[in-house]
Amino acid sequence: MKYKTGIDIAINKFIGKKGALIPLLQNVQDIEGYLSKEVMSYVSEKTGIKLAHIYGVATFYTMFRLKPRGRHIIRVCKGTACHVSDANSIMNEINNQLDLSGEEDTTKDGKFTVMPVACLGCCSLAPVIMIDDSTHGKLTPDSIGKILKRFE
Ligand code: FES
């Protein structure tokens, strides 16, 4: 199996270091976008760490993704300030507009991945979402369509 140089660099950076599996997997995920079975097998082969252990870590921590993510990441704040400002309606509207069920987080065309987050650090703008690096606040369900259209 052949992988990009970046993954080999990440493996070489962390190989043999105690407690390095999580930062190694974070590095690999940053490069690949998610942790595929193939890349976890590759890490296992190169590091000697059992695949079952790698898989166990990857599935235990919510920061790891086992499926590809969309080209744009929509973070929907579910923190207290946003929750009391009806963040659930914002999430429902995004899911409706993107035709996502509660089970799926990525659109079929691979354009968007929607994920809830605890707090985006701008509570005075509640309810807030972040799309890639841009923050959108004081939202109403009616404002969502216009924002999403900017990414067409
Ligand atoms: S609770 Fe939503 S930005 Fe802080």
Residue that terminates a domain, selected from 60, 87, 105: 60
CA distance 33 to 70: 9
How many domains does one find in the chain? 2
In a domain, 108, yes or no: yes
In a domain, 65, yes or no: no
User: In whole numbers, what is the pLDDT of the chain averaged over residues?
Assistant: 93
Asked which of 8-17, 45-54, 67-76 is least confident by mean pLDDT, the reply is: 8-17
Tokens of 54: 């790698």
Same domain for 53 and 90? Answer: no
Same domain for 90 and 36? Answer: no
Please give the distance, rounded to the nearest whole angstrom, from the Cα atom of residue 88 to the centre of ligand 1. 13
Share of the chain above pLDDT 90, in %: 84
Residue 118 reports pLDDT greater than 70: yes
CA distance 42 to 57: 15
Same domain for 50 and 80? Answer: no
The average pLDDT across 2-30 equals 88
CA distance 72 to 132: 6
Instruction: List all residues whose CB is within 6 A of at least one atom of ligand 1.
Output: 77, 79-82, 119-123, 126, 128
Q: Which of 74, 117, 119, 135 to mutate to test the pocket of ligand 1 (most atoms within 8 A of CB)?
A: 119
The residue range of the domain holding 104 is 72-149
Position in ligand 1 atom list of the atom nearest CA 83: 1
Residue 66 reports pLDDT greater than 70: yes
Residue 1 reports pLDDT greater than 60: no
